[in-house]
Amino acid sequence: MAYEEVKVRKPLGLILLPFFSVVCFFGAWELIVRAGIVPATMLAAPSDVGALFVDKLTNPNPDGATIFVHAWVSMQEAFLGYLLALGIGIPLGLFMGWFGVVRGIARPIFELIRPIPPIAWIPLTVFWFGIGLWGKVFIIWLGGVVPCVINAFVGVRMTNPTLIQMARTYGASDWQIFKTLCVPSALPMVFGALQIALASCWTNLVAAELLAADQGLGYLITMGRRLALPDMVVLGMVSVGVMGALIGLAIDEVEKRLLAGIRR
C-alpha cells in the first residue's frame, strides 16, 4: 500500500473505560447483595458464584455431576445437532435451489415446519426419544437446519444467470451446471450459515435442557431453581454464555479460513 494508514490514537481514559465499567458492574452487584438490598434468595453475589464454580470443579453434589461433565454433555449435544444440521441442511438447500423437483417436494413441507419454534417440539420429542441424548440432539438439529437450508438455497438462487447461459451454450447438463456453477457461487452464503446455525443450535440446546435433561448446563440452571440455589442458577447462565462465546469465536476463525480460501 502506498499510503500509510492513518492511526487514530485513543486517549488512555477510553482504553481503560471498559475495564472500569466491568469492575463497577460486578462491584455494584456484589454490594447490593451483601448489603441486603436484594435478598440472597433472589440473587447470588459474584463472589458466591465464583466460590461455587471452584467447588463444582470437583464436587458432583447436589445436582449429580461436576461442571465439566455438564459442559461436556452440552457440548456433545450441541455439536451432534450442529453437524447433523450442516450435513443435511446444506445439501438440501443447495438441491432445492437448483432442482425444481426437489424444490417442489421439499419447499412446502419446509415452509410449514419452519415457523414452529423448535421448543414447541419438546413434548413430542420426549415421547419419541425420552430425555436422553438424541431427543435433545433432535431439538438442536431443528434449530440449526433452518438457517442452513435458507442460506444454501439463497446462495444457489443468486448464481449469475449469464454464467448459466454460458455453460448451456457449451452443452452443459443440469448436474454439471449445479456442480460447477451453483455450488461454488453459493459457498460464501453457505459459510455464512455456519455462524447463524451455531447460534441457533446453542439457544435451543439450553431450551431443550431446561425442560428435559438429567445433565448439561441447562439442567444445572433447572436444578438451581428446584433447589432454590440462586448461585447455581447464575453459574449455569454464565457457563452457557462463556461457552457460547468461545465456540462462536472458534467458528468465526474457521469461517475466516474458509473464506480466505475462496476469495482471491
Q: Which residues bind other proteins (CB under 8 A)?
A: 162-163, 165-172, 176, 180-181, 184, 187, 262, 264
Cβ neighbours around 76 below 10 Å, total: 15
- Report helix, strand or coil for 186: helix
Supply the minimum distance, in Å, between the C-beta of residue 238 and other proteins.
43
Minimum gap (Å) between residue 165 Cβ and other proteins: 6
Asked if residue 160 lies in contact with residue 151, where contact means CB atoms within 8 angstroms, the answer is no
Closest contact distance (angstroms) between CB of 180 and other proteins is 7
* Nearer of residues 152 and 205 to other proteins, judged by Cβ: 152
Q: Residue 117 — left, alpha, or beta (φ > 0 → left; ψ -120 to 50 → alpha)?
A: beta
DSSP labels, 11-58? PHHHHHHHHHHHHHHHHHHHHHHHTTSS-TTT---HHHHHHHHHHHTT
**What is the distance between the alpha carbons of residues 226 and 122, in angstroms, rounded to a whole number?**
20
Nearer to other proteins, 59 or 180 (CB): 180
Helices 46-56 and 230-262 pack at an angle, to 10 degrees, of 80
CA distance 84 to 90: 10
- 59 vs 176, beta carbon nearer other proteins: 176
Report in angstroms how near the CB of residue 176 gets to other proteins at its nearest: 6
Grid cell 426419544 — which residue?
129
CB of 90 to other proteins, least distance (A): 17
Nearer to other proteins, 36 or 171 (CB): 171
For other proteins, the closer of residues 10 and 168 by Cβ is 168
User: Three-state DSSP class for 217?
Assistant: helix
* Distance in Å, CB of 160 to other proteins, minimum: 8
Nearer CB in complex with other proteins: 21/162: 162
